[in-house]
Amino acid sequence: MDIEKFISEKVNLIRRTVGKDKAINALSGGVDSSVVTGLGHRAIGDRLQTVFLDDGLMREKEPQNVAAAFEPIGIRVRIIDVKDRFFSALKGIEDPEEKRKAFRDTFYRCLGEVVKASGARFLLQGTIKPDIIETQKGVKTQHNILEQIGIDPEAGYGFKVIEPLIDLFKPDVRKVATGLGLSEAIAQRMPFPGPGLATRCLGEVNPERIEIVRRAVKIVEEETKGIAAFQCFAVLLKDRATGLKRDGSREFGHIIVVRCVESENAMTAEPVQLKWDVLRRLEQRIAGEIQEVSRVLYDLTPKPPATIEYI
Ligand code: XMP
């Protein structure tokens, strides 16, 4: 793939499509939305407004970290607090596809309001090829798929969508990130799904349960830093298991699964053979630091038959 040619074609496409109007894009800090942010700013400068929807489902300090990562290259990221809206939309929902639907609808409603308030007409987003393939195969409706499943974004939410990365797989997106001059930390960042920790929380998504999985994800990311893997994260199961508190009393506690996979493009994946001492350290920290957790498991399942995330 000719990266320079790709960048100049997409920059021209964005310029032509947006014309003299404005556009909005939602940055999550993942490589796809980071690349779209870079392309969009190169194409239309400050007429692209980059927002970070703080939906309460992100990793610890993610909104501030993402804004800080883009500041040095002159891109201002506006953080918008929409936590209450997401938690009320997700309240009581356990079915995975219902969760995805509630997430998607709230996400685009919020963005629709930002677009309207700013006078923009376009939303730039970082949909990539596997998002489309998996949604069309019926595996799951990825959060950023609209037109492909019959949702008209203009009628439903008041904006047109521009998707410059729609034909790419992740390895090429990373090359474009480097070609745009984004830092290696951004270009090589582990993928993080749009619906965030909601994809790693079985059962109801609420602030208390998200906090448990957020703390577990942080420990997994810290303890697996430097391990060659596509993604490493933690998942909170809906079920509980009996355990012992520090004072020896019985506790019917939470169960955390650690998932660590190797993959080229997320279409297939293999579990990483973590060393025993890494696994033991993960268990000791997760069960030791998160009081509500009584068990830690390691997921051995490749994709297929499993998917990478849990919903
Ligand atoms: P699955 O779970 O489908 O994940 O095997 C494949 C890759 O996609 C990410 N993923 C998502 N990314 N919106 C996204 O932006 C989503 O709704 C979504 N669901 C899964 C997942 O983290 C993995 O890298």
Q: How far is the CA of 247 from the centre of ligand 1 (A)?
A: 40
E-strand ranges in 8-129 read 23-26, 48-54, 77-81, 122-124
| 126 CA: nearest ligand 1 atom | 15
pLDDT of residue 138: 78
Mean pLDDT by 10 residues, the chain (311 residues): 97 97 92 96 96 96 94 94 98 96 95 93 94 83 82 90 95 96 92 93 98 98 95 98 90 97 94 98 97 97 97 95
Task: In whole angstroms, give the CA distance from residue 257 to residue 233.
Answer: 8
pLDDT of residue 61: 94
pLDDT of residue 137: 82
pLDDT of residue 265: 86
| 100 CA: nearest ligand 1 atom | 17
Mutate to test the pocket of ligand 1, among 101, 131, 170 (most ligand atoms within 8 A of CB): 131
Mutate to test the pocket of ligand 1, among 105, 163, 308, 311 (most ligand atoms within 8 A of CB): 308
Other CB atoms within 10 A of residue 304 CB: 10
pLDDT of residue 142: 80
The pTM for the full model equals 0.92
Enumerate helices (H) and strands (E) in the chain, giving the number of each.
11, 9
pLDDT of residue 179: 96
For residue 16, what are the contacts with CB-CB under 8 A and spacing of at least 6?
none
Enter the DSSP assignment of 182. -
pLDDT of residue 136: 82
pLDDT of residue 148: 79
